Amino acid sequence: MTELEALKADVETLKANAPEDKLSMVVFSGDLDNMLAAFIIATGAAAMFEKVSMFFTFWAIPALRDPKKTPPSKNLIATMFGWMLPKGFPKLKLSRMHMAGGGTMMMKGLMKKKNVMSLDQLIKAAADSGVQIYICEMSMDLMGFSKEEMIDYPNLKLAGVGKFLQDAGTSKVSLFV
């Protein structure tokens, strides 16, 4: 094999293993400010990348619960998780400076005044932009949640950690929020 052929083979190998034009994000925190950051990044990335996927796990999952839906009957532990965790994104609190609801209310008011999209609007924008949401099946099972009690989102699927790792392994950017 000549040196030129070897270089061509190396270039082909690099092309075949190059990351794809996509973002993969683990969303772990269910706090309002972290959720806002995750969806701001996701919608911004959707304008730049071909594909964006968000993998919701543990404490982020309750943010995707639909407050209008009645969950199926649950065992005691699942019922307790349901009571203790927020039912949907309207019930999320700030991670810092919550101040018994005053900080959260102040932040939402400031966002409105400054024309910053609300979490509700960001979730809609993400859906309109084709952002894929995966919810961790294991976390859902541990906490006793079901897909039937989640928000109606066009690109929402249940998946295991392997799906996230598969996406992240070929992404230009991977984040943990």
Least confident of 29-43, 94-108, 163-177: 94-108
- Does pLDDT of 115 surpass 90? yes
Domains of the chain, start order: 20-66+73-176 (3.40.1260.10)
Res 92: pLDDT: 94
Question: Tell me, what amino acid is at 152?
Answer: D
Picking from 49, 27, 28, the residue whose alpha carbon sits closest to that of residue 39 is 27
Res 18: pLDDT: 79
Q: List C-alpha distances in Å: 96 to 3, 71, 103, 111, 176.
A: 59, 30, 8, 16, 19
Tokens of 33: 């400010």
pLDDT digits (tens, 9 = 90+) for 100-109: 889 899 999 9
- Does pLDDT of 17 surpass 80? no
- Helix, strand, coil shares, percent, the chain, to 5: 55, 20, 30
Q: Could you tell me what percent of the chain has a pLDDT over 70? A: 100
| Mean pLDDT, residues 36-60 | 95
